[in-house]
Amino acid sequence: MFFFLLSLTIVHQAVPVAVRLSRRRFGQEHTPQADTTYQAVKDIAKGTNKEEQAGNLSGAMVRALLAKATTCDQQDRADEIIDLAISLGGERKKKLIKVAKKYRQLERNTPKAGQPSALCHKPPRHKELDGLVQAQDPTGKPVHSGKGKKKDPGH
């Protein structure tokens, strides 16, 4: 029995790719893609009088991708990135709008792997975000329409 369990353990360790695939469904708030957007917001605002606002927004962006965040937090933060973009203008505006769109489409954490995250049914404030939704865990089932309505605070 001991050897049987031992060999199971060895087999398990021999498939680290499968283990990583199931694990990576958690922690979507700190994927390299997500981290790039947090950093970009801070970097683009650097040297302006909006550095502190960008730092705060960056932290709020992390929290909006947590499983416990409310349905529209991710979209609200994306709208705020565009507010910041407009207040800075020029090249910074263009760059931040790209970041906002990318951030809006990041996968969000759900309490369980494979569980779809609810969609926000409130329209975004900025037209640049029209029609954009977060990515879903490709190992999960498709989102049922209307799923986000019950818990949507902004509707």
Report d(CA 120, CA 48) in Å as an integer. 32
Helix, strand, coil percentages, rounded to 5, for the chain: 55, 0, 45
Query: Which CB, 7 or 56, lies closer to ligand NAG?
Result: 56
Q: Does 51 bind ligand NAG (CB under 6 A)?
A: no
Interface with ligand NAG by CB under 6 A: which range of 27-35, 52-60, 117-125, 141-149?
Answer: 52-60
Q: Does 49 bind ligand NAG (CB under 6 A)?
A: no
Q: Does 91 bind ligand NAG (CB under 6 A)?
A: no
107 φ/ψ angles, rounded to the nearest 5 degrees: -70, 145
Q: How far is the CB of 53 from ligand NAG (least distance, A)?
A: 4
Interface with ligand NAG by CB under 6 A: which range of 51-59, 105-113, 120-128, 130-138?
Answer: 51-59
Query: Which CB, 31 or 53, lies closer to ligand NAG?
Result: 53
Nearest to 67 by CA among 19, 28, 39: 28
99, 81 contact by CB (below 8 A): yes
Query: Which CB, 52 or 91, lies closer to ligand NAG?
Result: 52
* Residue 83 vs residues 24, 79, 137: alpha-carbon distances, Å: 32, 6, 29
For ligand NAG, the nearest residue by Cβ is 56
| DSSP state, residue 126 | S
In the complex, which residues of this chain contact ligand NAG (CB under 6 A)? Answer: 52-53, 56
